[in-house]
Amino acid sequence: MKKNPLRSAAQKISRTTMAFLVGGFVRDFLLGENPKDADIEVYDISIDELEKILKNIFGQKKVKTIGKFFSVLHVALDKDYSLDVSLARRDTKQGPGHRGILVQADPKLSMIEAARRRDFTINAMSMDPMTGEVFDFFGGREDLKNKILRVVDAKTFIEDPLRAMRAVQFVSRLGLAIEPKTFKLIKKMVRGGALEELSVERIRDEFNKLLLKSEKPSIGLELMKELGILKKLFPEFLKLSGCQQEPAWHPEGDVWAHTKIVVDVAAELSRKRKFSEEERLIILLSAFCHDLGKAQTTKKIKGRIRSSGHAEIGGKLTKFFLRRFKYSGDIVKKVSTIVLEHRSPPRLLKKLTIKEIDERRYIGEVADLLRRLGEVRLPIFLTVCEADFRGKKQTDVFAAGQRLEKTIRDHRLSSRPLLLGRDVLQIWSQLQKGHPLDGRRIGEHLKKVNENQRLGEILNKREALVFLKEIIGRVK
């Protein structure tokens, strides 16, 4: 058995009281993973006695008592590893939603009854930290081996509506097949309105896990559709199913089929490119939302399927969606910006290729795109664009992204404007001595500079200063 600081910590607790590693730690450990957090269940002890033991073992500062009311204590071992240590408990449904479940500590509870309160068999196993022996009362080890997701107890399972969302992300993360009776049970929960009891924050957090922890999030997305979760929670995305695309450009099928492929590619690219967790979330949410506007804009024109303006509509719909689930303002802004601009790199390259614009105009348009992206980092943006490109089942090089990056590098372009207000003031004072400058004119002059850069008439600060001197010199 591999060395793991969580197991070592559990052994220290086990020397003083009856304690077992439970739930996700055992599941992930059996899968050969190295969990960073663990749940420990203890028996035959009070919460006050447990607090004293933990503080004596790990030190007072590392033990957090914020969950003590629910008979749970948190231990921060270091920046990477942590424990939640709880008394054996019973769950009783007393009100709506996830928060309507009353958790009651019962130190005398048997191990099998403590395990019965858990959602799925793969999460109902426990391990003796001293010997490594696994206690499996409901066949979780066999289900894990056979990649099956099965409820422990149908009666207790339906008491917590969050378990429907947990099922989706476990299936997606672990590549499981959902057992038929479990599928029917969850579908019945969803149809009966169980999800409406949940807070949007709870739903959002489970959805984030699906995106961030799955190699192929599309598995969970499709399961959400099959279970009716998409219809209940994300109805705007259900409209993408059956929304046709031009076969010449999208041989993969309708917009929903394309979206699932793009999300999977985005998951793969974002893992390989070592983004932070928040950056990965921005990439994956952008991939999920990138064609949201097509349901409203798709039309058949002269025998061809067109979705003109879908990026603009999609950007607005993305804001509504993300705000509904209370994502941060920063995430809302960045994701909606990426959705709005995701067609820009291929569109600009196409214009350059067919000579609708020349090289200087292309450079200027790229500079203008960088300004519009604002705080969105270029690698994040281009990862989404590349995922969209590969979502058409193309294996070619993402030429639009490569050309854009080369242009930025060769001409040292950035999101910063070529000139600032102080540049206008300085040139005005040189050329219009004695004449006051209306503050509103500063913005007008800078706007002219930016527009001329977009048109390719200005490529650098030197040319911008020459242009600014010309327009200020003409002021009467």
Query: Do 17 and 125 lie in a common domain?
Result: yes
The predicted-structure confidence for 444-474, as pLDDT tens digits, reads as follows 889 999 999 999 999 999 998 999 888 887 7
Query: Do 125 and 19 lie in a common domain?
Result: yes
Q: Is the pLDDT of residue 58 over 70?
A: yes
In a domain, 367, yes or no: yes
Q: Is the pLDDT of residue 159 over 60?
A: yes
Query: Do 378 and 306 lie in a common domain?
Result: yes
The predicted-structure confidence for 216-236, as pLDDT tens digits, reads as follows 999 999 999 999 999 999 999
| Calpha distance 271→379 (Å, rounded) | 13
What's residue 80's pLDDT?
Answer: 83
What's residue 98's pLDDT?
Answer: 46
Beta-strand runs (E) in 88-236 = 89-93, 101-105, 126-127, 134-135, 148-149, 177-178
In the chain, % of residues over pLDDT 70:
95
CATH of the domain at 74: 3.30.460.10
Q: Which of 55-64, 101-110, 188-197, 377-386 has the lowest mean pLDDT?
A: 101-110
In a domain, 215, yes or no: no
Question: Which residue's structure tokens are 């303002």?
Answer: 329
Note whether 471 and 450 are within 8 A (CB). no
As given in the structure block, the two tokens for residue 169 are 């992300």
Q: Which of 194, 188, 190 is nearest to 160 (CA)?
A: 194
In a domain, 372, yes or no: yes
Query: Do 308 and 401 lie in a common domain?
Result: yes
As given in the structure block, the two tokens for residue 50 are 């447990």
Q: Is the pLDDT of residue 322 over 90?
A: yes
| Calpha distance 307→474 (Å, rounded) | 45
Task: Provide the pLDDT confidence category of residue 14 given band limits of 50, 70 and 90.
Answer: very high
Q: Is the pLDDT of residue 197 over 70?
A: yes
State the residue range of the domain holding 111. Answer: 5-139
| Calpha distance 71→53 (Å, rounded) | 14
CB under 8 Å to 262, separation ≥6 — which residues? 287, 290, 291, 387, 388, 390, 391
Q: Which of 50-64, 125-139, 149-163, 412-426 has the lowest mean pLDDT?
A: 412-426
Give the chain's mean pLDDT. 90
Residue 208, classed as helix, strand or coil, is helix
In a domain, 393, yes or no: yes
Q: Which of 155, 176, 148, 151 is nearest to 164 (CA)?
A: 151
Give CB contacts under 8 A, 24+ apart, made by 156-160: 156/91, 156/116, 156/117, 157/119, 157/185, 158/185, 158/189, 158/194, 159/91, 159/93, 159/101, 160/91, 160/93, 160/98, 160/101, 160/119
What's residue 472's pLDDT?
Answer: 82
Residue type, 393: K
In a domain, 160, yes or no: no
* Average pLDDT rounded to a whole number, residues 259-274: 95
Q: Which of 154, 300, 168, 176 is nearest to 226 (CA)?
A: 168
In a domain, 55, yes or no: yes
